[in-house]
Chain A
Amino acid sequence: MNLLHKIVASAGLLTLALGSVQAQNKELVVGSSATYRPFAYENPAKEIVGYDVDIIKAVAQKAGLQIKVVNTPWTGIFAALNNGDVDLVISGVTINDKRKQSYDFTMPYFEARQLIAVQKDSTAKSLKDLAGKKIGVVTGSTGDDTVSREFGKTNPDIRRFESTPVVISELVNSGVDAAIGDNGVIAFRVQEHKQLKTVNDPSFPKEYFGIVVKQGNKALLDKLNAGLSAIKADGSYAQIYKKWFLAEAPVLPVQ
């Protein structure tokens, strides 16, 4: 055996060895759109942090999963899941019937509601009052669904943007009259701008965020659900909730 053969052989062995290690302890890639403070955002040290990240880390620990959180833009987040670029998604994704047709969801880990943000001088009291006004939403979000249902999906008064911060900037600059989005994020953003206020429309239904996996990936789904139950049972869920929302965690339905 000459030297070249030895190199090729040892390289082959090494690949095999690495392959088997990976198969045993495969690191799962978690997709999260890091423009969604306080759920997921990049801190100054370039780490992705937030409520979603803390939840998935705690769940993974209980379920014995190795994970790596990767910033995945919201626009392509479901495509990334379909392609296998990410193994699961935790990014403030609302569980709804339309999405359930294409993906599988864990049990809820957050109770959400749509919330309206407007300029302080606005007289709007509910979604109905926004008829004929320009409304900013994030493309494909639950807010988008809500206004599409109410005002028609091709209504030119609906202005769609890439992320909540952009929608809020547009509202601050008076490019739109109102912004609609998930309560956690909208409330957080409105605190930053004193010319804005929130309007709570009581007719908006309760919604729940779930962790998303590819349809049919039951093995992973079961592990995640077990992890979620475990952190709810041992109190770490309540701690994480309190850390990010400064409130007691609500009781969530199990399915």
Chain B
Amino acid sequence: MEQVLWFGWFRADIIAEYAVLFWRGLQMTMLVTLICIVQGTALGLAIGMARLAEARHAPARQLCKFALRWPATVYVSFFRGTPLFVQILLIHFAVLPLFINPADGLLISGETARNLKQNYGAFLSGVIALTLNAGAYISEIFRAGIQSIDRGQVEASRSLGLSFPRTMFHVVLPQAFRRMLPPLGNNAISLLKDSSLISAIGLAELAYAARTVAGAYSRYWEPYLTISLMYWVLTLGLAYVVKNLEARYGRGDTR
């Protein structure tokens, strides 16, 4: 391909040469982020609730403490207390091979395992690691959001005869959600950027495309500037969505 210079220094031709890789990478990054936001939020809600679980009488009281609160706390502590990069490598090269392995996988083995690993191995490990990590952070957002709602709201709702789950889903969570939106948006943006770490295990997302070009040409401005702009546009898009959601859920606010 003929050398094309933009502004006298930007080799546009090498980006064009690998355009397919950048395009597929962009799609992969968006897919991974979307899946992990959805799963992470669901997991975060579950873990956040588990951390708040309480009961008045035995044995439910002990059950809440040892079967829900403790495991949830340990989980959050581990995934917030270790680097995501390490978690990705740990899951891809240690945990997943234990379960999915052609030789002696605990869950899946044989030819199915081989096909799964080859076609979706890095995707699976990356999504699992990112979801588990995001779940830990999001659970804290849920916990803080729920705890920020005045106890009187629950008491009033219970006095009106609403059951605990209904109180939670119709009274507490909607109010908490409005307050949780800004930190959740923040988290979604982090998630999008953190997805770049999955390139270390060979998942062909945006950072992988840039690394490939840099490796082939030993040029760094072109590929990394290109993906920086792409990530930037994506985060701007996410921020815009969150802003709209805030406006929508904040309509009744008088402040």
Contact = CB atoms under 8 A, between A and B. Distances in A.
A111 interface: no
A170 B202 contact: yes
A112 B202 CA distance: 25
A175 B202 CA distance: 10
B216 A140 contact: yes
B20 A75 contact: no
Interface in B102-121: 102-103, 113-114, 117-118, 121
Contacts of B218: 78-79, 99, 102, 140
B202 A154 contact: no
* Interface bracket on B: 20 to 34
A123 to B, nearest CB: 15
B176 interface: no
A159 B202 contact: yes
A174 B114 contact: yes
A162 interface: yes
Interface majority SS on B: helix, strand, loop or mixed?
Answer: helix
Contact of A139 (B18, B24, B211): B211
Contacts of B208: 160
A2 interface: no
B214 A174 contact: no
Interface string A148-191: 10000110100111100010011001111100000000000000
B101 interface: yes
Contacts of A52: none
Contact of A174 (B117, B215, B216, B220): B117
A247 to B, nearest CB: 30
Interface residues of A, number: 29
A160 B202 contact: yes
Contacts of A140: 212, 214-216, 218
B228 to A, nearest CB: 16
A78 B219 CA distance: 9
Given A75-B211, A139-B212, A156 B101 contact: no
A28 to B, nearest CB: 21
Contacts of B214: 75, 139-140
B204 interface: yes
A144 interface: yes
A82 B113 CA distance: 44
B215 A75 contact: yes
A92 interface: no
A134 interface: yes
Contacts of B204: 156
Contacts of A160: 202, 208, 211-212, 215
18 contacts: A75-B215, A99-B218, A139-B212, A139-B214, A139-B215, A140-B212, A141-B215, A148-B216, A153-B216, A156-B204, A159-B122, A159-B202, A160-B212, A161-B202, A166-B200, A173-B93, A175-B202, A177-B118
